Amino acid sequence: MSCEYFADKGMKIEGNYWLVHPQTGEAWNDESAAAFIAGYVPPHLSEDAIASRKAMLIDEIKRAVYDCLEAQVWRVTKAHERVLLAQLGGSEVERTEANAAYKAELEKREALRQRSNEAELQVADLASIDALDEFSFKAEL
């Protein structure tokens, strides 16, 4: 949306008519209307809106990563149990294979955490609502 000045109706700001300046309460004139329009930033493009959207995106990333890690915790538990079984009565080959499988699961989880950290840094660097809307992150192991 935007703002427009009509001498007979006042200033139309984001679809609503204001007979007086919203911050000062003074009646509009050509100079005050021109100054307001020149400095007008739509609320959805303001710095506060961008910061809020960044915070929402970072929360979404953290939530998606947490959900993915929680959904896959059974894999880590299973790999850990195999390590324990191999230690209790397996051969050296079984212990080595079990440790390698356990390590692989843990490395996948750490790689997801690293991708999450990188995505959060990318979000912090974005400077517009359009860029934030185009950003996407998928949490997958």
| Coil/strand/helix, residue 24 | coil
Per-residue pLDDT at 103 = 97
- Residue spans per domain, the chain: 3-40, 47-134
Which parts of 14-128 fold into alpha helices (H)? 30-39, 47-71, 73-89, 92-125
- With a CB cutoff of 8 Å and minimum separation 6, the contacts of 53 are 129, 132
pLDDT band at 112 (very low <50, low <70, confident <90, very high): very high
pLDDT at 1 over 90: no
Query: In whole angstroms, what is the distance from residue 129 CA to residue 18 CA?
Result: 27
Judge whether residue 65 has pLDDT over 90.
yes
Q: What is the pLDDT of residues 18-50, one digit of tens each?
A: 999 988 899 999 899 888 888 888 887 788 889
Two tokens, residue 108:
């996948």
Contacts of 123 (CB under 8 A, 6+ apart): 54, 57, 58, 61, 132, 135
Pick the closest to residue 33 from 73, 55, 3 (CA basis).
Answer: 3
